[in-house]
A and B are shown apart, each in its own frame.
Chain A
Amino acid sequence: MNDLIPSPSVRATEGRSTHAVLSARSVVYSYAQAPALKGISMELHRGEILAITGPSGSGKSTLMLCLAGILAPDAGDVTYDGRQISAESEAQRSRLRRTEFGVLFQFGQLVPELTAVENVALPLLLAGRKRRAAVTAATNWLDRFGVADLALSRPPEMSGGQGQRVAAARAMVTEPAVLFADEPTGALDALSGEQVMTQMVRVAREAGTSVVVITHDAKVAAYGDREIIVCDGMLESSRS
């Protein structure tokens, strides 16, 4: 592996490197009695778009949840930016999710009662920003995903693709270091899915955000720079 000494420069200008912004070491996780991850080690490089693929039930979603600090692994550790986040408390990991990570799920992530712009602004409001500033930033991000005209609509009034783009804007609004996307196009038709992936990749590259995409669809994985394959809770070899 190439060792680059990371310089504290602005993320966007650094571009892609082989510096690991997020890494997992021998991560093990089980749901009740069912083992999902049996010792996975991998790295996410700064600025890259990484696809994690594998058959259904292989544990790739679980891996993402551990990487994002949503789940704490039973064994092994997850390191972000030098911190061992797997050992931190739920409150600290929750704060991480609000500020450094963005998460995009397949569905069910927007609050149906809030308008689109309020949904996108929510992470900023939670961080304590004033409403006007938060709404301005949110509208800007909605615009970057091409859904600014939906600002005052509510999620039940939108199509699947539009909803996912709003959710992507919400994930990016805090300018996260890492964006996690779990089957982001799973519920969408091919054309909407392509729109979401293209915009997500473009916006992430512009912002210097590293991306982890979980998918079982090779056509979606092809948007990434590199692929790792998870099978039955363990890693298969991969190459870019």
Chain B
Amino acid sequence: MTAALSTGHAPAARAAAGSGGPSSVELLRLAASGGRSDRLRISLTAAASALATVVLLAGAAVAFISEGDGPYGPDVLDQPGLRPGVMIAMLMLCVPILVFVGLCTRVGAPARDRRLAMFRMAGATPAETTRIAAYETGLAAFIGSALGTAIFFVGRTLLDSTKPGEFTTELSDGARSVTEGLVRSLPTDASIPVLAVLALILLISGGSVAMSTIALRKVRISPFGVTRNTTAKPLRKTSALMFLGGTVGLMVLGLAAQTAQGMILPVALGAFVLFVLAVVGLLTGSAAISSAVGHRLAPRVGRPDLLIAARRMIAAPYAASRATASVLLAVMIGAAIQGVRANFLAGADSTDTFYADTFRLLDMVLIVAIVLSAANMLVTSAEAIVERRRTLAALQASGTPRPVLARAIMMETLVPLVPSVLLAGTSGMLAARAFFGSSVERNVFIETDGAQQFAVVGVPVPWERLAVLCGATIAISIAITAVSLVLLGRSTRVAEMRAAV
């Protein structure tokens, strides 16, 4: 243990303790110290931030296409009405990347937390250790973001080319004309305001710092070691308010945005904020559900697996929501995608496969997001089991059969999951419907004279797809929890229980 607190750290930490508080430079140095897994984590965080920056900048490029730019080959870039779809797709793509960032910050985290505990031993305050972690993540994210920006602009110049092709323009009478000329395939000529670029970099760096700070809030790093503070009481009313506020807010914003044209960026930002509000509300609400169900069940049940699960839900209500957070995020966004898809497909020609193809692509992106979320959930569940190994070994030694333990752990994760998934799906669906409308114009062929006419068609709610989405995520969560139970066998070898041989 003393080996890790090498000569590099100790003087800095001691100086920090003695002079009434370390300077930011010293904290930064402490943050940059670390071993192989720490360097891996930093590089992964930087890489993921770079990727996120590139994607977001691409979306920004689409957002900032102005009058003089173009024309573009793909309809989706050319038609102003179609561009929001692309931007939303870009935002969606960010979700798996953000999930990946979250996963990256977890790599080697236990060792990092133990290192922070040693700093505490040397005299650092809890605020200082949080700052060290924040600096580490922030620095990595910032460097990655800057790198991503550089990559984007370099790529932009390299990929800038025009070639002969077709593009369509909408004439004043609603007809479309196809012209031949030089077109660009990518919006490489759209100029993104410098302010926007800086804002993006700050957003990604700040977002990563916020994520790691919040993640550390529940973890108590004391000089004696690292423990998780699980006794926070879940706030039922606040979380319900946040969730409902976020969802209803998104709906209102969506309806308002339909009428107001051209204010894409503020609307997008507003949507993002409300989305975050709804997600936070959902996560804390899921903990509140855990706690409430636990309190109802515990004094009444006689089945040992239910009893253990119920008491655990009372004692650690946030455990389940922590594990399933990324899954819920994916469901919310996935439901929104399905809503948008239903909208676009209702308004399209039966012969036009363009939208169907695009959305198939988006579905694949969604699957990637869900897979990444599942990986996140696996890591979190596995960590949770390892943390509890003493208690689990005790249960086993007293004769609790492994299937009973397995069922208890399964229940404790899944009881709050099912209502949360349903709520997430509903919220996403409603938001999408509000933004894109529940009815849409559509080119309809009138049988009698073969002419085209615009008619208003209702957008159906894609019940089947939503059901598949929710059902699949619940099934995947069950599978993931079952996989993490494999660790149960390893962690609970009774030999682990004995402190003295």
Is A61 a contact partner of B397 (Cβ separation < 8 A)? Answer: no
**Is B444 interfacial (CB-CB < 8 Å)?**
no
Task: Say if the beta carbon of B452 comes within 8 Å of chain A.
Answer: no
Q: Which of B108-116, B387-395, B423-431 lies on the face that meets chain A?
A: B387-395
Q: List 12 A-B contacts (CB under 8 A).
A: A31-B495, A59-B501, A61-B500, A62-B501, A65-B494, A70-B494, A94-B399, A113-B316, A122-B398, A182-B498, A183-B500, A186-B500
**In the complex, are the beta carbons of A111 and B501 less than 8 A apart?**
no
Answer whether residue A107 sits at the interface, using C-beta atoms and an 8 A cutoff: yes
Question: When the two chains form their complex, are residues A122 and B498 in contact, meaning their CB atoms are under 8 A apart?
Answer: no
Q: Are A61 and B501 in touch, CB under 8 angstroms?
A: yes
What is the distance, in angstroms, from A178's C-beta to the closest C-beta of chain B? 13
A108 pairs with B391, CB closer than 8 A: yes
CB within 8 Å for A56 and B394 given contacts A94-B401, A123-B399, A131-B301: no
- A61 to chain B: which residues have CB within 8 Å? 498, 500-501
Q: Nearest chain-B residue to A69 (Cβ)?
A: B399
* B394 in contact with A106 (CB, 8 Å): no
Q: Is the CB of B500 within 8 A of A113?
A: no
A105 within 8 A of B: yes
Complex-state Cα separation, A108 to B501, whole angstroms: 15
Please report the total number of A residues contacting B with Cβ < 8 Å: 41
User: Is the CB–CB distance between B301 and A114 below 8 Å?
Assistant: no
Tell me the total A-B contact number using a CB cutoff of 8 A.
90
Q: Are A106 and B500 in contact (CB under 8 A)?
A: yes
- State in angstroms the CA–CA spacing of A56 and B303 once bound together: 40
Q: How far is the CA of A182 from the CA of B300 in the complex (A)?
A: 33
A111 touches B304 (CB 8 A): no
**Residues of chain B in range 468-498 having any CB-CB distance to chain A below 8 Å:** 494-495, 497-498
Are B399 and A118 interface neighbours, CB within 8 A? no
In angstroms, Cα B329 to Cα A75, docked, is 54
- What is the interface of chain B, defined by CB distance below 8 A to chain A? 300-304, 307-308, 311-312, 314-316, 390-391, 393-395, 397-401, 404, 494-495, 497-501
What residues on B are CB-neighbors of A132 within 8 Å?
302
B311 close to A107 (CB less than 8 A): no
Which of these binds chain B: A9-17, A95-103, A136-144, A199-207? A95-103
Would A105 and B498 count as touching, CB distance under 8 A?
yes
Query: A204 → chain B, closest Cβ, in Å?
Result: 18
B399 contacts A110, C-beta separation under 8 Å:
no
Contact check, B315 vs A108: say whether CB atoms are below 8 A apart. Answer: no
Whether A111 lies near B499 (C-beta < 8 A) is: no
Q: Which residues of B contact A57 (CB under 8 A)?
A: 501
CB proximity of A155 to chain B, nearest CB, Å = 10
A170 in the interface (beta carbon within 8 A) = yes
**Shortest 8 CB-CB contacts between residues of A and residues of B:** A131-B302, A98-B399, A113-B311, A97-B399, A113-B315, A109-B394, A125-B304, A108-B390
Chain A, range 7-39, C-beta contacts under 8 Å to B: 31, 36
In chain A, what residue has the closest Cβ to B404? A126
Question: Which of B302, B312, B495 is the one whose CB lies under 8 Å from A130?
Answer: B302
Distance, CA A126 to CA B170, complexed state (A) = 73
Tell me the complex Cα distance, A214–B243, Å: 56
Q: How far is the CA of A105 from the CA of B397 in the complex (A)?
A: 10
Q: A95-B399, A125-B302 are in contact. List 9 more A-B contacts (CB 8 A).
A: A61-B501, A70-B397, A97-B399, A113-B308, A118-B311, A122-B398, A126-B304, A131-B301, A134-B302
Give the chain A neighbours of B500 by CB distance below 8 A: 56, 61, 106, 183, 186
B304 pairs with A106, CB closer than 8 A? no
- By CB atoms of chain B within 10 A, which of A61, A91, A98, A113 has the most? A113
Closest approach, in angstroms, between the C-beta of B298 and any C-beta of chain A? 8
In the assembly, what is the distance between CA of A59 and CA of B501, in Å?
Answer: 7
Question: Which of A97, A103, A105, A130 is packed against the most chain B CB atoms within 10 Å?
Answer: A105
B300 CB contacts on chain A under 8 angstroms:
131
Nearest CB on B from A116, distance (A): 12
Give which listed residue, B312, B390, B397, B498, contacts A113 with CB less than 8 A: B312
Q: Does A71 contact B (CB under 8 A)?
A: yes
Q: Which A-chain residue is minimally distant from B231 (CB atoms)? A: A156
Residues of chain A within 8 A (CB-CB) of B303 are 125
Report whether A91 and B401 are in contact in the complex, using a CB–CB cutoff of 8 Å.
Answer: yes
Chain A residues within 8 Å of B, Cβ to Cβ: 31, 36, 56-57, 59, 61-62, 65, 70-71, 91, 94-95, 97-98, 103, 105-115, 118, 122-123, 125-126, 129-132, 134, 170, 182-183, 186
Q: Given A31-B495, A118-B307, does the pair A56, B397 have CB atoms closer than 8 Å?
A: no
Shortest distance between the CB of A127 and any CB in chain B (Å): 9
Complex: A103 Cα to B400 Cα, angstroms: 13
Residues of B within 8 A of A70 (CB): 397, 494
Cross-chain contact B397 with A109 (CB below 8 angstroms): yes
A125→B310 CA distance, assembly (Å): 15
The 8 Å CB contact of B497, one of A105, A123, A129, is A105
Alpha-carbon distance between A136 and B498 when the two chains are bound, in angstroms: 31
Measured CB to CB, the nearest residue on chain B to A58 is B501
B303 CB, min distance to chain A CBs, angstroms: 7
Task: Give every chain A residue within 8 A of B397 (Cβ-Cβ).
Answer: 70, 97, 103, 105, 109
With A and B bound together, what is the CA distance between A186 and B401 in angstroms?
Answer: 28
In the complex, which residues of chain B have a beta carbon less than 8 angstroms from the beta carbon of A109? 394, 397-398, 497
Nearest B residue (CB) for A34: B501
List the A side residues contacting B316 at CB < 8 Å.
113
List, in ascending order, chain A residues with CB within 8 A of B401's CB: 91, 94, 126
Q: How far is the CA of A130 from the CA of B300 in the complex (A)?
A: 11
**Among B301, B315, B398, B495: residue with most chain A CB under 10 A:** B398
Distance in angstroms between the alpha carbons of A130 and B501 in the assembled complex: 38
State how many angstroms separate the Cβ of B220 from the closest Cβ of chain A: 15
Q: Write the chain B residue with the least CB distance to A125.
A: B304
Q: How far is the CA of A173 from the CA of B401 in the complex (A)?
A: 18
With A91-B401, A186-B500 in contact, do A71 and B494 touch (Cβ < 8 Å)? yes
Tell whether, in the assembled complex, residue B395 and residue A111 are in contact, meaning their CB atoms are under 8 Å apart: yes
B391 — which chain A residues lie within 8 A by C-beta? Answer: 108, 111-113
Instruction: Give the CA-CA distance A94 to B398 in the complex, in Å.
Output: 8
User: In the assembled complex, which residues on chain B have CB atoms less than 8 Å from the CB atom of A114?
Assistant: 307-308, 311
Can you name the residue of chain B whose Cβ is closest to the Cβ of A129?
Answer: B302
In-complex Cβ contact of B399 among A111, A126, A130 (8 A): A126
**CB <8 Å contact, B398 and A123:** yes
Alpha-carbon separation in the docked complex, A125 to B304 (Å): 6
A120 to chain B, nearest CB (A): 11
B208 → A minimal CB distance (Å): 34
Complex: A56 Cα to B401 Cα, angstroms? 31
* Minimum CB distance partner of A131 in chain B: B302
Q: How far is the CA of A59 from the CA of B500 in the complex (A)?
A: 10
Minimal beta-carbon separation of B494 from chain A (angstroms):
5
Write the nearest CB–CB distance from A85 to chain B, whole angstroms. 14
A8 to chain B, nearest CB (A): 25
Known: A71-B494, A114-B308, A118-B307. A107 touches B399 (CB 8 A): no
